[in-house]
């Protein structure tokens, strides 16, 4: 197979990554805020708002990646062997995740299954980054920048799973008419001593005119977003934001080399 035309679109791919990271970081923070303020409708609005841009970016990413996989020079004599695998395999995975996410939001399906796909894709991306960094010779002239880019996007994919599970729980509990992360307040529950008697238990005298029932205790539950759940949700936009910074930085570092000095410097 011979190649008469070589189009280096890596700079465009880096801009695409930065756009994806920007949208997801902003949406991730808004998701956290909607859950923190116990606003399921606001949360659904945020998710619906991301469906169109994620579908568009995912489609472009997948098309570019598949094109790169099949057309990037990979002959042993050209010194670019394996570049199509190293650079475009993770972008294929990213396109699949983004398109799956958009479809899941439109269909109002469970997000955690897309989160699982993102988890695997993220772990694979981090392994690609580590392999490219430790290869001899390195796959790029900027191996550390490339490693940080892959690790950041990989970590974002990994933490998409716990974040999606929290979102599914919040929406599912709200749809069922229950209080998410319910925290009971008011009258304490009676507990058994395990000795077959309640003689040692403190007796709370009933208050005149105030019924004491399981229904009343259940209705006293209030919403509280626990710290551990907030951390799980926030880790996703944090790592996505770091990935966006890495993508913008990588773009600035590599674009001059990709452009060269005009037509004479083109690869």
User: Tell me: the pLDDT tens digits for 67-110?
Assistant: 888 877 655 555 556 777 888 999 999 999 999 999 999 999 99
What's the confidence (pLDDT) of residue 74? Answer: 59
Domain for residue 77, yes or no? Answer: no
CA distance 131 to 147: 9
Residue (of 76, 79, 75, 91) closest to 10 by Cα position: 91
Q: Tokens for 203, please give them.
A: 């007796």
CA distance 78 to 151: 28
Tell me the whole-structure pTM to 2 decimals. 0.79
18, 241 Cβ separation under 8 angstroms: no
Domain for residue 45, yes or no? Answer: yes
Q: Tokens for 46, please give them.
A: 């945020």
pLDDT in tens, 105-163: 999 999 999 999 999 999 999 999 998 888 776 667 778 888 999 999 999 999 999 99
Domain for residue 5, yes or no? Answer: no
Residue 266: pLDDT over 50: no
CA distance 231 to 162: 10
Domain for residue 206, yes or no? Answer: no
Domain of 173? 10-61+93-186+216-260
Domain for residue 100, yes or no? Answer: yes
Residue 197: pLDDT over 60: no
Domain for residue 202, yes or no? Answer: no
Place of tokens 């989160």: 115
Cα atoms in the Cβ-side hemisphere of radius 13 Å centred on 29: 9
Domain for residue 191, yes or no? Answer: no
Average pLDDT score, the chain: 81
Helix (H), strand (E) at residue 266:
none
How many domains, the chain?
1
Domain for residue 146, yes or no? Answer: yes
CA distance 21 to 239: 9
Q: Model confidence at 261, in pLDDT bands (50, 70, 90)?
A: very low
What's 165's domain CATH number?
Answer: 1.25.40
In eight-state DSSP terms, residue 222 is E
CA distance 31 to 50: 11
pLDDT in tens, 159-190: 999 999 999 999 999 999 899 988 754 444 45
């Amino acid at each position: 197979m011979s190649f008469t035309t070589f189009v280096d679109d890596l700079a465009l791919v880096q801009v695409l990554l930065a756009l994806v990271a920007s949208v997801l970081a902003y949406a991730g923070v808004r998701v956290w805020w909607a859950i923190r303020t116990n606003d399921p409708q606001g949360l659904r609005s945020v998710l619906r708002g991301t469906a169109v841009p994620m579908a568009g970016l995912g489609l472009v990413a997948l098309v570019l990646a598949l094109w790169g996989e099949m057309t990037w020079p990979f002959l042993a004599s050209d010194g670019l062997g394996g570049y199509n695998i190293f650079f475009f395999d993770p972008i294929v995975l990213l396109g699949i995740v983004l398109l799956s996410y958009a479809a899941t939001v439109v269909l109002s399906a469970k997000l955690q299954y897309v989160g699982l796909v993102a988890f695997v894709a993220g772990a694979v991306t981090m392994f690609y980054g580590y392999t490219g960094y430790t290869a001899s010779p390195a796959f790029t002239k900027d191996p550390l920048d490339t490693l940080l880019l892959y690790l950041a996007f990989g970590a974002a994919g990994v933490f998409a799973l716990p974040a999606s599970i929290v979102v599914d729980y919040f929406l599912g509990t709200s749809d069922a008419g229950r209080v998410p992360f319910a925290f009971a307040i008011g009258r304490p529950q009676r507990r058994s001593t395990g000795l077959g008697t309640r003689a040692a238990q403190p007796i709370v005298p009933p208050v005149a005119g105030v019924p004491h029932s399981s229904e009343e205790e259940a209705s006293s539950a209030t919403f509280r977003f626990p710290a551990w759940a907030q951390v799980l949700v926030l880790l996703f936009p944090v790592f996505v934001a770091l990935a966006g910074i890495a993508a913008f930085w990588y773009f600035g570092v590599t674009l001059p080399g990709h452009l060269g000095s005009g037509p004479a410097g083109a690869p």
